[in-house]
Amino acid sequence: MTVLVADKFEQSGLDGLKAAGCDVVYQPDVSGDTLVEALRTSRASVLVVRSTQVTEPMLDAGPLALIVRAGAGVNTIDLAGASKRGIYVSNCPGKNAVAVAELAMALILALDRRIADNVAELRAGLWNKKEYSKARGVYGRTLGLLGFGNIGQEVARRARAFGMPVLVWSRRFATDADERARVEEAFDLTVVDTPEALVAGADIVSVHLALGKDTRGFVNQALLSHMKPGAFFVNTARGEVVDAAALLAAATEKKLRLGLDVFAAEPSSATGAFVDPLVALPGVYGTHHIGASTDQAQEAIAGETVRIIRTFKETGRVPNVVNLARKTPATHMLVVRHRDRPGVLAHVFDHLRQAQLNVQETENIIFDGAQAAVARINLDGAPPDATLDALRTGHADVLDLQLVTL
């Protein structure tokens, strides 16, 4: 199995892929047309990326079967295109959670004590203890977390250690009262009913929402209008989750202090010119989208990437796959008990094809001794009676037939 790694990747990960018996092509600088050509020439079955965009032309360039995002988000990958072609997309959720949580806390503390301004004036040869002695402190200040996945949970643990009351909002708690109660007890925090209630009640708001069609621009003018004057706003998630123009206006009007690791328009390469009106505001601290970039996180992600690819190579299964249908369009299940002999399932599928029925999912379970099996076949419609009769009587090794409405 050939694996093309099209981003910077840990040596331990490259070594792990080779130890798993993979032919590794390491081209960390390819992108766009050069990545299309690399896929065409390498004939790779697996593509590993971090921030590199994966577009439709790349999906058609070779026999790709699996794309692994060596990180959490998959917004840089054409998921719809991959799904249409039957290409698995997998990621490494939670492996960078501690690293991002550490940066979120670092930004909160830096905003409170104005660390960057302290350093800038010291480097300029200025001593200003009178000004920089002014800080409220974070103990007792309420932290509001928009989103409560792996990263939000790690931030909550650290905030409680700093003596900060924590508010949480997440969509999943609206439909799962038991989970809400469990989280409140386990993390010693309060789950609120709406994002507006969270923003209004927090001295510091930290964003931990995954980017999707429902969260793009989620933090908008209406939500930001509920923030307290002088509050802190921290985003280590995705720049696109926040309406940048609305944040600029709110920061100016409410004198918000901002800690941002992500921005609406970031350079496509690791280095380059960067212009954003937000970073020109006083009280705004920014970092260079480095939340997951610690040695510990990258080693953990590399190990998880190797595990995913090794599992796929050895079993055909893909851990952490993100683009399988949660529910197929199947309306009926055909259950066929049969002798485990050649030609039985071919007989079944041939008659289903003649009836213009599409098989959505299938599994064949073998009994002890490998003499008999049960096939469960999910279909997009009900077989006509004539087809069911032909299936029952047309092959001596079909033992029983049952049609279940889903």
3-state class percentages of the chain: helix first, strand second, coil last, to nearest 5: 40, 20, 40
Catalytic residue, chosen from 114, 208, 238, 338, is: 238
Residue located via tokens 């409220």: 136
Q: Which is it for strands 284-286 and 257-260: parallel, antiparallel or unpaired?
A: parallel
Structural contact between residues 333 and 404, judged by C-beta atoms closer than 8 angstroms: yes
Find how far residue 342's CA is from the centre of its chain: 42
Hey, is 113 helix, strand or coil? Answer: helix
Phi, psi (degrees; rounded to nearest 5) at 146:
-85, 100
Residue 266 annotated in active site: yes
**pLDDT band at residue 325, thresholds of 50, 70 and 90?**
confident
Residue located via tokens 């959505």: 360
Identify the pLDDT of residue 372.
95
Residue ranges, comma separated, of all CATH 3.30.70.260 domains in the chain are 332-405
Return d(Cα 37, Cα 27) in angstroms, integer: 12
Catalytic residue, chosen from 266, 332, 337, 376, is: 266
**pLDDT band at residue 225, thresholds of 50, 70 and 90?**
very high
Query: Sign of torsion, CA 9 15 21 24?
Result: positive
Which fold would CATH assign to domain 97-290? Rossmann fold (3.40.50)
H or E element in which residue 373 lies: strand 372-379
> Each residue of 178-211: pLDDT tens digit?
999 999 999 999 999 999 999 999 999 999 999 8
Residue located via tokens 């790694």: 5
Superfamily of domain 332-405: ACT domain (3.30.70.260)
pTM of the full predicted structure? 0.80
Catalytic residue, chosen from 141, 226, 257, 289, is: 289
Greatest extent of the chain over all pairs of C-alpha atoms, in Å = 94
Residue ranges, comma separated, of all CATH 3.40.50.720 domains in the chain are 2-95+296-315, 97-290
Identify the pLDDT of residue 268.
73
Residue 289 annotated in active site: yes
The CATH class, in words, for 2-95+296-315 is alpha beta
Identify the pLDDT of residue 336.
96
